[in-house]
Amino acid sequence: MLSGEDEWVPFSRRPEWSDVKPVPQDDGPNPVVPISYSDEFRETMDYFRSIYLSGERSFRALSLCSEAIELNPSNYTIWHFRRIVLEALDADLHAEKEYVNNIALRNSKNYQIWHHKRWLAEKLGPEAAEEELAFTEKIFAVDAKNYHAWSHRQSVLQALGGWQKELDYCDKLLREDVFNNSAWNQRYFVITKSPFLGGLQEMRESETRYAVEAILSNPENESPWRYLRGLYKDDPNLLICNNQVSEVCLKILKRKQNIVLALSLLLDLLCHGFQPISEIRSAVEALRISESEPSTSSLANTICGILGLVDPMRSNYWAWRRSHLPSEVC
């Protein structure tokens, strides 16, 4: 086995593998573009195929898997076989956790590794939750939006627990970077899935305040706007009834700072039956750019016209919205 800077020893020269007949890769009689594998890779995989096909469950098989994974950590067949061998040997899964963590730190976007980690965590049970959550935090310190790590964290929370500090952790990440859309997504996951918070209905009011504060601090950040919408996605009537929502739109419109997100939300409110106060009408009218827009247009019509000009990349979309406005919209 290759260790440190030791020279790799071919399996054909290792006495402990003398009883194994390697199985070459079968590329057919006339491969169009044969891959130029290294000698080390070719021989390692030839021996792996042999023990895989024979169904050998041994510590040398486990060691061979380690060498093969080092050469290609994305090979799902090797990882699958490794799990079979681990179970057959009743191996030390804590040692396996240390092994796979080292691999994951070097290959943090490798799905096969995270799948193996999830399998391990579920085998180890609730005792593994704290360490698994801590490990994902190591990954986030380098890549705050690593999808695999976030998916793993959610699976650990649901299967093994550890919810108690998760909302505080989301808050910490958002204080460090309020543009971290992964942290916003995790926050929504926590308030809707945690068994300790009472669900969305219980958390909606306080989370609305949280989102509004984030919007007022950084109106150009789309994440809290999306988060705010998500809090009411199952009941738009509650969205139009909560004064915090229309008030934050009004404040941003008065600032004339990144008005697209505020106008877009206000348009959706109107389409759901929101009755705007005169102050909102005045704020929108003050933004009217095109003099060709008749002053008698409905507020929703005016908003679509403004959006078509200030958001030219989606001008066709806003024109479509305008043509599909409900007749009763203000």
Q: Which residues are catalytic?
A: 109
Cα–Cα distance measured from residue 259 to residue 265, given in angstroms and rounded to the nearest whole number: 10
SS3 233: coil
- Crossing angle between the packed helical segments 39-54 and 76-89, to the nearest 10 degrees: 50
Sign of CA pseudo-dihedral 134, 140, 145, 147: negative
Q: How many CB atoms sit inside 10 A of residue 126's CB?
A: 12
Sign of CA pseudo-dihedral 188, 194, 199, 202: negative
Q: How many CB atoms sit inside 10 A of residue 211's CB?
A: 24
Nearest to 122 by CA among 146, 87, 148: 87
Judge contact between 160 and 128, C-beta under 8 A: yes
Q: Could you give the angle at the alpha carbon of 231 between the alpha carbons of 225 and 236, nearest 5°?
A: 95
Cα–Cα distance measured from residue 318 to residue 329, given in angstroms and rounded to the nearest whole number: 16
Q: Determine phi and psi for 94, rounding to 5 degrees.
A: -70, -40
Nearest to 113 by CA among 158, 152, 161, 150: 152
CA distances in angstroms from 73 to 43, 48, 111, 152, 318, listed in the order given: 16, 14, 10, 18, 47
